[in-house]
Structure 1
Amino acid sequence: MTSTDAPGLVRTERHGEGGHVVEIVLDRPDALNAVSTAMAEAIGRVSAAVAADPDVRCVVLTSSQARAFCVGADLKERNTMSDAELVRARPGNRAAYGGILDLPVPAIAAVEGFALGGGFELALSCDLIIAGEGAAVGLPEVSVGVIPGGGGTQLLTRRVGWSRAASMIFTARRLTAAQARDLGCVDEVVATGSARARALELASAIAANSPVGLRQAKRAMRLGSDLDLTAGLEIEDNCWRQTAFSGDRAEGVAAFAEKRPPRWPGR
């Protein structure tokens, strides 16, 4: 899969046997991947195309260059926009972040360099975050008169808890990769320049598993995470039923009994 509708902004690459791992590459290096209106629309289109592809089992979100994963909103563009233009751009921006957040398969962000504001929110929209040692993350929006508007107030709070999220957001401070790991903002820190390779390695291990199982596991976790336990268990049961009578379950059990790798039908 290669994106052709957003040249120079966002592109995709397939990896591994069967191409089940898709890498979404933020590719606006001249602006350190600052999210302009056009780039937000491109992220939305590309993520929607990836979400609709039944062959995808895992997604890795990366940058085309090492200096920055994404520095957030394009403030130069924002400085030229009227209030009406800002309002018109809002749905496209929400679709960009929502498109990554709502991917139906596991998603991993590989962060090198700066991941600030909306850039960190794109990473937070993924299920796992791998960061290079030289990475810096933060949500500095209150320092320029707004708030995190790409899901940051909600996603960071759910990741690290109220007080830690409040401290980061209210102070607008940046964290090193090690500090972010210690707070739970990122999941793993690797040598500088290794985040993409580690994320692709992890994605390959994930993609070896049942595509039906992966999608239903993510669905159960996402839908149940903000509900009480009883309601969450009902969602889990529904998702379990989607797997229990699937071709993937039949193949998985047969492969286990026959001591061979499974050949997932993905249905």
Structure 2
Amino acid sequence: MINFHRLDLNLLLTLDVLLTEHNVTRASERLHLSQPSVSIHLAKLREYFDDPLLLPGPRGMRPTARAEELREPLRLALASLAEAVAPTRDFDPSVASHTWRIAASDYSESTVLQPAFPGLREVSPDSRLAVLDIVPAMLARQAERGEIDLIFHTTEDAPRGLHQRALFQERYVLVGRAGHPKLKRKPTLNQFCRLEHVIVSKDGGGFHGTTDEQLAESGLERRVVLSVPHFLFLREVIATSDLVAMLPSRLVADNDKYRVVEPPVEIPGFEMSMFWHERSHRDPAHEWLREYFVRGSESTTKS
């Protein structure tokens, strides 16, 4: 039985040329080898296949029946191998049909993906986008397995060991509905604490956040009357009631449904970044997608 694992690829390259040239001298010239080296290769091939492969003839060497059987499959196999190891072709988004899998919170869905999606459809109409919920404990493993292509997450709390690119800095503002009677101007700290607040709770159902920690340092406490899991619901609540919220500014930018004022307490903002695994770091398609989102974030920041 033939043992493929002990076959040197160079021998197959030599055989392919010999089956084309039918001549050791011409084969050695094409392979940039000496004639004795090609003869040694041929001897090893004959031993491996247990067949003479090429026999002396009046006009060079004649392939045996076994060699003729090998000729076309060998040519195709070497061509496929050459294509596999050739430099990767440039990525053309206009004809691509990728399915991109992206992990994003509802915040990054609204501030990164939603603004970018129409343009993405225009430049790559046959590509698809699958948006997955963020499960922090699973992100690194999902990226390693290729289950997600990109992650949009705050830099500070993101999984380690991934490539990252900062997209923008975010800050918090105080938001209420348009025409809110108590947000005609920036409130004082006491007025701020007496307002009825709604928060997004990271731990699920909590009524305490970063703003409350800042207030506590001054011995103050605000009235948090509603805790919700997502920003989308929070924005609807604010737009249809007198509740207020401390929100990332991009969630309410250029929206006349809301009244936005500077809060009387300074809350640290955060950096939004994009993360990906080493497995796709040098892939031209993935590089293009990353740059697309970077350009989109830069244009949004400037506007």
What band does the TM-score fall into relative to the shorter chain? under 0.3
Q: TM-score, normalised by structure 1?
A: 0.21
Which structure: greater helix fraction? Answer: 1
Bigger-Rg structure (1/2): 2
TM-score normalized with structure 2 length: 0.19
Q: Going by fraction, where is strand more abundant, 1 or 2?
A: 2
Instruction: Give the structure, 1 or 2, with the largest relative contact order (CA under 8 Å, sep 6 or more).
Output: 2
